């Protein structure tokens, strides 16, 4: 039983007007409608069960009120939280979200980009663990493209105002975490990085490494000893997927390395680490402290409660929406982030307060 939806002409027939008037009533313009006529149209709309067809409107006007959101893993609470905030923010502004999960796969990203373009999304919010994103993607996008985890402003000739970079400052965030551990007395701080060869992994590693460098009195064995060494070549650096399992598997290695502090690049990793340490009977933070980048509202409920760098996702979503709707100001967005100290890292030492 295929239901035929009522169209404007159905409404017009019932109301005894033209389709134009119906359109005026539905959209509140651009021409005025007599009070009496409007009432007849409204009645007809109710009677027929008319509902505007967004597709037809978009085809005609060239605007879709539709946003594309691409993330690398919807199973990551940080990212699903991000999507949730974006949905909330944009829905209230009349926009709907196409959500896609790239599974951190460049080929899939391409497919998704094609899809988003052919669906005429008005804007695109893009979270890829790698940079830069598909080049032609942006070239062909009409509307603004927001790069959620840009390491630096993503420019491009002729695209001013259409590319918006969100500088999550992964580097400074990780550096901040590292400093917090140092201030709490950790002397041998390891870093659990993301998958190999990813720019974002590298950025986070760099933040950790540079924070260590700038502090004197730290265990020299962190550095391989030669100038020009990369963070990844440090003996205290370990690479793992951004998953619980990645953290779990890496945990033992940090123990073997004699670390008394770990900076995880991800809440999921940190959760895996905590689970493993608890299983091993290690005392956190007495034996070893753990902090993570991008913690979520789940962090207070781990055992022990996870300390970490928290991003104000609501505020970020709001800024993104503003940037998308007022395309004039396309300066990079820097989200609010703050360190939440919880049980998983030692108390601040007196001399540092």
Partner DNA sequence: CTGTTAGCGCCTTCAT
Partner DNA sequence: ATGAAGGCGCTAACAG
* Residues engaged in binding DNA (CB under 7 A): 5, 7-9, 16-24, 26-27, 29-34, 36-38, 50-53, 56-57, 59-62
Q: Provide, rounded to whole angstroms, the least separation between the CB of residue 56 and a second copy.
A: 5
Residue 170 and residue 27: Cα distance in Å, rounded? Answer: 44
Residue 147, beta-bridge partner list: 126, 165
Find the binder of a second copy among 75, 106, 197, 235 (CB under 8 A).
75
Residues in CB range of 223: below 8 A, 6 or more apart? 213, 229, 234
Nearer to DNA, 52 or 315 (CB): 52
Q: What Rg, from alpha-carbon coordinates, does the chain have?
A: 26
| Smallest distance from DNA to CB 121, Å | 15
Q: Which is nearer to DNA, 6 or 341 (CB)?
A: 6
* Other C-beta atoms lying within 10 Å of the C-beta of residue 324: 22
Report yes or no: 172 and 339 within 8 Å, Cβ to Cβ.
no
User: In the complex with a second copy, which residue's Cβ is closer, 118 or 331?
Assistant: 118
Nearer to a second copy, 186 or 306 (CB): 306
In the chain, the N- to C-terminal Cα span, in Å, equals 72
Interacting partner of 34 out of DNA, a second copy, none (Cβ under 5 to 8 A depending on kind)? DNA
In the block, tokens 């959101």 appear at: 69
Task: Establish if 275 lies at the interface with a second copy (CB under 8 A).
Answer: yes
Reduced to 3 states (helix: H, G, I; strand: E, B; else coil), residue 290 is: strand
Minimum separation from the CB atom of position 216 to a second copy (A): 36
Q: State which of residues 297, 336, 348, 352 lies at the interface with a second copy (CB under 8 A).
A: 297
**Strand 307-311 to 337-340 pairing:** antiparallel
Upstream peptide bond of 285 is cis (omega within 30 degrees of 0): yes
Sheet architecture: strand order including 307-311: 237-239, 189-193, 261-264, 289-295, 307-311, 337-340
Position 278 contacts a second copy (CB under 8 A): yes
Candidates 78-86, 144-152, 179-187, 204-212 — which segment interacts with a second copy by CB under 8 A?
78-86
**Could you say which residues in the range 314-353 bind a second copy, by CB under 8 A?**
none
Which residues are at the interface with a second copy (CB under 8 A)? 1-3, 5, 49, 51-56, 58-59, 64, 66, 73-75, 77, 80-81, 83-84, 87-88, 91, 96-101, 103, 111-112, 114-115, 117-120, 140, 142, 158-159, 162, 244, 248, 271-272, 274-275, 278-279, 297-298, 300-303, 305
């Amino acid at each position: 039983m295929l239901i035929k939806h009522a169209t404007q002409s159905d409404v017009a027939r019932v109301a005894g007007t033209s389709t134009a008037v119906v359109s005026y009533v539905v959209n509140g313009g651009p021409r005025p409608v007599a009070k009496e006529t409007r009432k007849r149209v409204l009645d007809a709309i109710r009677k027929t069960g008319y509902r505007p067809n967004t597709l037809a409107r978009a085809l005609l006007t060239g605007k879709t009120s539709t946003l594309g959101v691409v993330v690398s893993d919807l199973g990551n609470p940080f990212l699903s939280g991000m999507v949730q905030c974006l949905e909330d923010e944009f829905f209230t502004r009349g926009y709907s979200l196409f959500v896609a999960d790239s599974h951190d796969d460049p080929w899939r990203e391409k497919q998704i980009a094609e899809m988003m373009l052919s669906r005429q999304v008005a804007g695109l919010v893009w979270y890829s663990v790698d940079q830069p994103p598909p080049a032609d993607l942006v070239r062909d996008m009409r509307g603004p493209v927001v790069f959620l985890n840009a390491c630096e402003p993503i420019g491009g000739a002729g695209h001013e105002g259409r590319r918006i970079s969100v500088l999550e400052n992964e580097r400074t965030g990780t550096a901040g975490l590292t400093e917090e551990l140092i201030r709490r007395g950790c002397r041998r701080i390891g870093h659990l990085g993301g998958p190999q060869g990813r720019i974002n992994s590298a950025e986070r590693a760099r933040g950790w490494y540079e924070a260590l460098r700038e502090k004197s009195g730290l265990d020299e064995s962190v550095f391989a000893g030669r100038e020009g060494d990369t963070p990844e070549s440090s003996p205290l650096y370990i690479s793992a997927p951004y998953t619980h399992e990645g953290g779990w598997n890496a945990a033992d290695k940090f123990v073997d390395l004699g670390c008394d502090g770990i900076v995880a690049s991800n809440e999921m990793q940190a959760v895996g680490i905590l689970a493993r340490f608890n299983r091993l009977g290690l005392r956190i933070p007495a034996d070893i402290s753990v902090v993570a980048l991008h913690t979520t509202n789940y962090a207070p409920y781990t055992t022990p409660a996870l300390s970490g760098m928290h991003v104000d996702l609501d505020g970020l979503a709001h800024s993104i929406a503003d940037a998308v709707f007022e395309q004039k100001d396309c300066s990079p967005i820097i989200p609010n982030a703050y360190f939440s100290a919880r049980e998983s890292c030692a108390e601040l030492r007196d001399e540092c307060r």
